[in-house]
Amino acid sequence: MTLTQLAQRLDLSVTTVSRALAGYSDVAEATRQRVRAEAARVGYRPNLLARRLQSGRANTFGIVLPTAPGQFDDPFFMRLLGALGPALAEKEMDLLVSCAAPWGPEMRSYRNLVEGRRIDGMFLARTARDDPRVAYLLDERIPFVIHGRCNETRPHAYVDTDGQTACRQATERLIGFGHRRIGLINAPESYNFACHRQAGWREAMIAAGLATDATRGAEPNEENGFRLMRSLLGKAEPPTAVLCTTDRLAVGALLAINQAGFKPGVDVSVIGYDNLPVAEYTDPPLTTFEQPIDQAARHMVAMLLALIDGADPAPLKAVLPARLIVRQSDGPAPNHPNAGGLR
């Protein structure tokens, strides 16, 4: 059914029906309710193309995923997309997804989307401490919301998970189990999330009077988790527990521990971060922290819509708590009574 046909059924002008459906206050409330009720009864849906042409908006938000050429394999990004999509669909908005290697190709993708006027706003993920994407979008006055934080001092909207508190709690948990040699396998410190998570680990270690020299860092994938865990196991006094700042790193670490002849959760405890689906199926199942991705996505969509309508970005910020998911990959230190393992 067209807008004209709906207007004829209601014996109203096309303009009145259009403005009633759009919620304009110059249409009487009773008329708005009657128009919406009839539209719902007959299954009328507005012509989105016409609406876009009228408003000058694309009704589309963009996101560029920082991935290596030919790869789209980071489960965290898949979870974020899976949460953003339904949240946008509820608002009759579209999500344009692009992939590009950081940082040069990625910036070209941003310029193509912005200068081609293909999007009304942007979502950003996995921020760097000094992030050129954030600076570019601020300079271009493009509305955006980031998942994460960065060092940019100009007001901007963001939603993040409190990785610092989570990693401090994880380390305190391991200390409570009697571990004194607790390593950290981290992402590069150029990523802001890596700095927050390392800070939480350091806070707990220093508060307990423990050494903070058992750290390794690399791009957060399984291969690097395996390699860095092998390096830690090769120390003269290897750690009896390891905190991995992503589950992908933890998956590799678990394999390295197993291949070295030790039992994860008994000889070497491991805690991850992200609660990816694979965490339930590792050997043993991985203790980890879950990010509230669905809640974060709803916040991000609401913030970006507010920015589109002219809201001040300064108060648009949220830091959400992570939730500990206890499984079998961590436990008492091997030098505790009735515990075997590394001595």
pLDDT in tens, 149-188: 999 999 999 999 999 999 999 999 999 999 999 999 999 9
Residues in a beta bridge with 217: 186
182, containing H or E segment: strand 182-186
Pick from 234, 261, 272, 285: nearest CA to 75: 272
| Superfamily the domain 163-290 falls into | Response regulator (3.40.50.2300)
The residues spanned by each domain of the chain are 3-46, 60-162+293-322, 163-290
Q: How many CA atoms lie within 13 A of 135 on its CB side?
A: 8
The span from the CA of 332 to the CA of 266, in Å, is 7
Q: Are 59 and 25 in contact (CB under 8 A)?
A: no
What top-level class would CATH report for the domain 60-162+293-322? alpha beta
Give CB contacts under 8 A, 24+ apart, made by 86-90. 87/297, 87/298, 87/300, 87/301, 88/61, 88/301
Question: Nearest 5°: phi and psi at 91?
Answer: -100, 10
The span from the CA of 250 to the CA of 244, in Å, is 5
| Superfamily the domain 3-46 falls into | lambda repressor-like DNA-binding domains (1.10.260.40)
Common-topology check for domains 60-162+293-322 and 163-290: yes
Give the pLDDT of residue 70: 56
Give the pLDDT of residue 343: 43
The span from the CA of 342 to the CA of 340, in Å, is 7
Give the pLDDT of residue 210: 97
Cα 172 to its chain centre, rounded Å, is 24
Give pLDDT < 50 ranges for the chain.
48-49, 52-53, 55, 337-338, 340, 343
